[in-house]
Amino acid sequence: MIEANYDAPGRALLFDIDGTLADTDPLHLKAFNQVLGPHGHVFDHARFSRELQGFANVAIGDRFLPHEAPERRAAILDEKEEVFRTLVVGQIAPLPGLMALLDRADSAGIPMVAVTNAPRLNAELLLSGLGITHRFKALVIGAELPHGKPHPLPYQEGLRFVGARPETSIAFEDSRTGVKSATAAGIPTIGIRTSLSHADLVASGAITSASAFDDPALLARLARVMAW
């Protein structure tokens, strides 16, 4: 990441991508079952949310393909990502209220950052498919850093890029690993209930949760915190 070259306001909105901007988790589940099934691993929604959702591929390979050489693990999980990218074409839709929220943040001059454990090709495909690539001042890829989520580094890097303070920013996450990453960076985090329940998200550290970005309670909280 390069240093920011503009005056940032100290506030920022930071977003995970998969399951947060768009509900793509069912397609990831299908891709994982297609690729890891022949290796003896089949996932339902509950197991996916516990053991796969939000984790970097290196960690997934270490856990589920321990007898494969590192190069082979990487190749198998690259295949999973190729399957996902094929499945997701034409299926990318924003969560309700997302576009209006992004418009509001832009109008208020609040910078936005995307922070993900997804491979760069996936992240760029989803942002492009939603038509919102230009909205984000930075795209932070966990695998391109010394530590991905649940380590706080990805969110710390996002804050650093826009010169924002954690306590006056807000993060949006849908996974346990993502919530833990953002909260460990000191950012108040709102869980998005595309896959996990309110109780699961709060137990991971979220201050509250919302079903989507048009939730009235969420919008009221943002109006207070972001002063817009």
Catalytic site residue from 16, 23, 25, 215:
16
Active site residue 18: yes
- Both tokens of 190, joined, read 């709102």
Q: Report the alpha-carbon distance of residue 184 to residue 30 in Å, rounded.
A: 30
SS3 percent helix, strand, coil of the chain, rounded to 5, is: 50, 10, 35
Selected catalytic residue, list 18, 174, 200, 215? 18
Residue 56 tokens, joined: 């970097």
Contacts of 187 (CB under 8 A, 6+ apart): 14, 155, 159, 166, 167, 169, 170, 171
Neighbours of 123 (CB within 10 A): 21
Q: Is the peptide bond before 150 cis (omega within 30 degrees of 0)?
A: yes
The single-letter DSSP state of residue 2 is P
Cα–Cα distance, 189 to 54 (Å, whole number): 15
**AA letter at 92:** I
103 is catalytic: no
Residues with a catalytic annotation lie at 16, 18
